[in-house]
């Protein structure tokens, strides 16, 4: 019992992310409403554009992918690792269907910017 309690607290003590969290990394995202649609900003530093997939279904925008560590080459080893390298998935709900919106995206200083332009 003591061990289990210890584990409980150790576990719970290691901050918010230490909850039963599901299997994925959910990167932070901001959503702005603009005159012509939406602007979505996702924190995806170090993620290669090749490893990202964006999908739209109804009023939901899904961003999924994987951050891979391409720095660690042969002859190197970690002293410390704090950056999460794993799959991620981010689902964003919008008030209306965006299926027919036009998507534009680009990377700006490690932030993925997605511009959804409403259909006129």
Q: Write each residue from 74 to 103 as x if it is in contact with other proteins (CB under 8 A), else as -, in one continuous string.
A: x-xxxxxxx-xxxx-x--------------
**Nearest 5°: phi and psi at 86?**
-165, 180
CB of 96 to other proteins, least distance (A): 22
Distance between CA 7 and CA 19 in Å, rounded? 13
Residues 31 and 95: beta-carbon distance below 8 Å: no
Distance between CA 109 and CA 111 in Å, rounded? 6
Instruction: Tell me the site size for other proteins, rule CB under 8 A.
Output: 45
Q: What's the CA dihedral at 116, 43, 16, 81 to 10 degrees?
A: 160
Q: How many residues does the chain have?
A: 120
- The residue within the footprint of other proteins, chosen from 29, 52, 61, 98 (CB under 8 A), is 52
- The residue within the footprint of other proteins, chosen from 30, 49, 97, 110 (CB under 8 A), is 49
Give residues in contact with other proteins (CB under 8 A): 1, 3-5, 7-8, 10-12, 14, 16-23, 49-54, 62, 64, 66, 68-70, 72, 74, 76-82, 84-87, 89, 105
């Amino acid at each position: 019992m003591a061990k289990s309690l210890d584990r409980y607290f150790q576990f719970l003590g290691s901050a918010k992310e230490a909850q039963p969290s599901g299997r994925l990394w959910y990167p932070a995202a901001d959503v702005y409403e603009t005159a012509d649609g939406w602007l979505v900003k996702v924190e995806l530093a170090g993620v290669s554009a090749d490893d990202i997939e964006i999908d739209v279904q109804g009023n939901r925008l899904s961003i999924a992918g994987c951050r891979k560590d391409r720095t660690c080459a042969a002859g190197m080893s970690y002293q410390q690792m704090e950056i999460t390298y794993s799959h991620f998935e981010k689902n964003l709900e919008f008030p209306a269907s965006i299926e027919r919106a036009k998507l534009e995206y680009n990377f700006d200083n490690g932030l993925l910017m997605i511009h959804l332009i409403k259909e006129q």
